[in-house]
Structure 1
Amino acid sequence: MSTAAPSRPPRRPIFLGVDVGTGSARAGLFDDGGRLLGCASSPIQIWKEGDCVEQSSTDIWLAICTAVKAACSLANISGNEVTSLGFAATCSLVAVDYDGEPVTVSWSGDTRRNVIVWMDHRAVKQAERINSSKSPVLEYCGGAVSPEMQPPKLLWVKENLQESWSLAFRWMDLSDWLSYRATGDDTRSLCTTVCKWTYLGHAHMQQTNEIDSRDMEARGWDDDFWEEIGLGDLVDGHHSKIGRSVAFPGHALGSGLTPDVAKARKLELGLVAGIPVGTSLIDAHAGGVGVMESVPATVSESKEADEEAICHRMVLVCGTSTCHMAISKTKLFIPGIWGPFWSAMVPQYWLTEGGQSATGALLDYVIENHVASPHLANRAASRSVSIFELLNEILESLKQEVGPPFLAALTNDIHVLPDFHGNRSPIADPQSKGIICGLTLDTSEKQLALLYLATVQGIAYGTRHIVEHCNAHGHKIDTLLACGGLAKNSLFIQEHADIIGHPIVLPREKESVLLGAAILGAVASNKYSTVREAMKALNAAGQVIYPSKDSKVRTYHDAKYRIFRDLYEQQLSHRSMIKEALS
């Protein structure tokens, strides 16, 4: 008598997320409870020369392969066990030729340097010219493009690197290039195209719904805009150079991971061919997807229906820069704030996006350029702690020594306007400069700690400005969620909570951007029917940081916030005086 073979237990899903930041490529593996099983990173090369900041897509891909294999090893997971893959990356611009080979975007002519990094500001003049066009598409990016967006950068290349312009067959956002490199499918993401290329996602969906919901043909490009700014050649040939098809984040691409990418040889990923790969997200937006449903019931939020409570939250993705993202059911036009972007992060919702171009980068700059920095760094290394942890300890000691009523009051004489890389939001002034008011001849570690604290506060005042500005134009933000490297700094988060006056929720898993990227693959694998469903299943809250209940703390920060706002007004006055003197 024959018996049936025992059934195998169902294969547990393991979702792989890959994130390419400014300085490294990272990979993280998650289970179907949203728990991180293992992650690893690998550094990537960067070239900085004045306003030009460049990278190599070849170098980035090799770093991804290294990180994926290391993450699998650390998690004790075989590449054969990974069930899906999603990518997130900085909104950098990649140029490749017809064969997919790099095309230089560098004055140096170095063919490796085919990526213009998001923070690159070479195209300030091109951005100004584009904004002078007053095109209707500009209404959907806060009224003006930033030099960090792709149209100004593309125009710069056309005007300065003619050979590269003629050689380039595809211009792609970095995260779209990664998914294309993995699958061979050139479908672009609504996230990248809407947020950085002036693609009109709402027009795309309106026309798509009228035709066929499965039709991903890119109908959201405004050809008149591209013609008017001098880039009409990009929309010839059915937009093949900038995106012929566009899809929601998490849309399954092609036939999944291609065999030549899956195989282990030549430092490729070492995964199974054919596993689903989801349409990508910008890294900050992946952070939003990784945390936005992480608010516990104990946090006092709006009493509206649960489905709409998500519209009262703002996500802070705090890394080299900080991105501030909130969503709404209706479109909100907010001067100086990017958007409204249709379905650019959470499908079927409008995205509002603010940002500060230098936060983590600014803290590094302030610390590393102080004379006390080398000694402080050595002390931190000898104790195996971060320099931020050591500075936070120094500030606690100073509080005991000096005796102010609360730690924040140590900066009563130091005020920082953090616009060292311009103001992205809400003033949208790339010409704005940083200001430090209150310097002395003191070169001690204690003085560096005070300068560090004042800089943290300046960044937090900038976030308060963005939150207040958004709420004044239709949002009702009452809860913040923070992720990214700076979110691990307790002082940074507490100062933000005290200054903004709202609770800040931290995620259970620290690698929220990687989780957001992994969610894209999970949706592509049909484990979840929508991104929102996957967010609800995989997001989880950790610690909640509440604002101080001490009224003196609020009064103090209100006064310093007025000084913060006044520093920019003074800068405008000084700029006007000098302009008049030189005229």
Structure 2
Amino acid sequence: MYLGLDLGTSGLKGVVIDDDGNVLAQESVSLVVTSPHATWSEQDPESWWQACIDVIQQLQQRLDLSKLKALGLSGQMHGATLLNKQGEVLRPCILWNDGRSQAQCASLMAQFPELIERSGNLAMPGFTAPKIRWVQENEPEIFDQLAFVLLPKDYLAYRLTGLMSSDCSDAAGTLWLNPQTRQWDDTLLAATGLTQAHMPIVYEGCDLIGVLSDSAAKLLGLPQLPLVAGAGDNAAGAVGMGITNPGQGFISLGTSGVYFTVSESHKANPLNTVHAFCHALPNRWHQMGVTLSAANSLSWFAKLVDKSVAELLDALEDSELTQTNVLFLPYLSGERTPHNDPLANGQFVGLTNTTNTPAMTLAILEGVAFSLLDCQNALDSAGSYVDELSLIGGGARSAMWRQIIANVLNKRLIYRDGGDVGPGLGAARLALLGEQQSQGKEIEALIAEYCTLPEVLEVHEPNGVQASYYEHKYALYQAVYQATKGLNDALAQLSS
């Protein structure tokens, strides 16, 4: 058996697979995000470790984990976990959806014009490097103690093994890695006052990095398993869905929304806010468009009206509503693709006395689909076109939402078995690949054997009946952002 641990924003999930790659069990524990100030988003790394302990205990009640052969990790990208020389956490982790470092992004771009060429990406508040510049300028007493910077899943690896490690898919999202060389770049590190001494060793995602320490194995009740480097959540999700070859792609409808395509080389297109990163497997790269609040938009609204997400979707289906004059911009945490605007606001437009909950729910589903169309247009401009897309993530469970996205993107969407397992399955597959590779087996043959596409559950072909409706509404969606951008900036200054 092989264990994959996926450290997400809202929870940590554990997935166990057998030697054939079949899912045997999965368990999860919720996590809490704090926002002490506007645009801030933080988590306590100790909560990750406690969640890891709890998930493994839950799995042990279902399976004999003494039979595990290897462990893999995936996790939310970009988070800045800061440690001192003793390996102690200096402050809460600044997460991927934290927008406080907008000014630091601007200064980095102005002072280091080579940043775009060397990293292949724009400086965005979500990335790790601007966060460190913010700490340097606003918390100098923390920066002076800084000895190591780890990404969230790599902090778990450190707690499990005592080793400082990362993988090139996750590390590419820091702005310190050169995706062409797949290693840290000294010039990029120097831009934020760091050197390679502050950084973990970078591996390919399926490389073994070490074994569980004596103390961790005893605490968790596990054998001293080998651990692979793992992957950022989206690259791990791709491995879990068998999206490993150029020309393949998927959409993830998690807290954020991701439009992911695989390429045979590093294809940077930063001016269109395309993220160009390394894949978790050797000799592969990927491009992403990211919308920061996908399924989170629906969860936010459900909480606001004191309903569950399932109740909202059921009420919409019962209403038989397929069109609405209500428009929603899902910018609850700012937006990346295509705006790179941490101050963008979520908005409902077109509300009247007769507006009801189903109309607002439909507007949210459409708004997230339009944000994914923004991503698709940006990726197309980067030469990352795909004919069809697989879907993963919690939001993908809604057949209605899947069809709306197919209609808006005018793209064939395939909902596959295991789509709700996602990155955790990918982490477990990486563990399997690493353990098999350590026995002398060739990695490309292993990828072909184990990283297969899951069974098709449902296919959604685009329905052209409402094509003119979506086309017109998408134009309004784009126009509303442009028309209100100045107001959003003013409101942000007012609240600060």
TM-score in terms of structure 1 length? 0.78
Aligned letter for 1:126? Answer: Q
Matches within 5 A, 1:83-94: 83-91=69-77, 92-94=79-81
2:141 matched residue in structure 1: 163
Cα distance between partner residues in 2 of 1:340 and 1:532: 26
1:346 matched residue in structure 2: 281
Q: Is the 8 A contact 1:72 1:78 kept in 2?
A: yes
Cα distance between partner residues in 2 of 1:532 and 1:326: 22
Matches within 5 A, 1:512-551: 512-526=422-436, 529-530=442-443, 533-534=446-447, 536-539=449-452, 540-549=454-463, 551=464
Share of identical aligned residues, percent?
A: 21
User: Among residues 69, 76, 84, which one is paired with 1:97 in the alignment?
Assistant: 84
Cα distance between partner residues in 2 of 1:168 and 1:118: 20
Matches within 5 A, 1:312-391: 312-334=247-269, 335-341=271-277, 343-369=278-304, 373-374=305-306, 377=307, 387-391=308-312
Q: Is the 8 A contact 1:141 1:337 kept in 2?
A: no
Aligned letter for 1:270? Answer: G
1:303 matched residue in structure 2: none
Cα distance between partner residues in 2 of 1:489 and 1:277: 35
1:194 matched residue in structure 2: 172
Distance 1:330 1:281, change over 3 A: closer
Secondary structure at the aligned position of 1:100 is classed as coil
- Offset of residue 44 of structure 1: 2.6
Q: Is the 8 A contact 2:230 2:280 kept in 1?
A: no
- Offset of residue 174 of structure 1: 0.9
Cα distance between partner residues in 2 of 1:568 and 1:535: 44
Q: Is the 8 A contact 1:140 1:333 kept in 2?
A: no
Q: Is the 8 A contact 1:142 1:337 kept in 2?
A: no
Please, which runs of 5 or more residues in structure 1 have no aligned partner? 1-13, 105-113, 205-217, 294-306, 378-386, 400-406
Q: Is the 8 A contact 2:313 2:361 kept in 1?
A: no
- Offset of residue 20 of structure 1: 1.1
- Offset of residue 134 of structure 1: 4.8
Please, which runs of 5 or more residues in structure 2 have no aligned partner? none
Matches within 5 A, 1:400-479: 407-409=321-323, 411=324, 413-442=325-354, 447-479=356-388
Cα distance between partner residues in 2 of 1:428 and 1:142: 15
Provide, for residues 184-228 of structure 1, a one-character-per-residue CA deviation record: whole Å limited to 9, x for no partner. 222321112212233113235xxxxxxxxxxxxx5x4132x443x
Cα distance between partner residues in 2 of 1:141 and 1:315: 24
Aligned letter for 2:236? Answer: A
1:178 aligns with 2:156: yes
1:49 matched residue in structure 2: 36
1:393 matched residue in structure 2: 314
- Offset of residue 535 of structure 1: 6.4
Q: Which has the larger radius of gyration?
A: 1
Aligned letter for 1:398? Answer: S
Distance 1:143 1:516, change over 3 A: closer
Aligned letter for 1:425? Answer: T
Q: Is the 8 A contact 2:48 2:156 kept in 1?
A: no
2:207 matched residue in structure 1: 251
Secondary structure at the aligned position of 1:70 is classed as helix
1:554 matched residue in structure 2: 467
Secondary structure at the aligned position of 2:181 is classed as helix
Distance 1:575 1:53, change over 3 A: closer
- Offset of residue 30 of structure 1: 0.8
Aligned letter for 1:258? Answer: S
User: Among residues 8, 12, 22, which one is paired with 2:9 in the alignment?
Assistant: 22
- Offset of residue 575 of structure 1: 7.1
Moved more, 14-23 or 174-183: 174-183
Aligned letter for 2:311? Answer: L
Aligned letter for 1:566? Answer: A
1:276 matched residue in structure 2: 226
Aligned letter for 2:115? Answer: V
Distance 1:280 1:420, change over 3 A: same
Secondary structure at the aligned position of 1:450 is classed as helix
Secondary structure at the aligned position of 2:272 is classed as coil
Q: CA RMSD in A?
A: 2.4
Distance 1:30 1:143, change over 3 A: closer
Cα distance between partner residues in 1 of 2:444 and 2:309: 35
Cα distance between partner residues in 2 of 1:118 and 1:128: 18
TM-score in terms of structure 2 length? 0.91
Distance 1:203 1:480, change over 3 A: same
- Offset of residue 415 of structure 1: 1.2
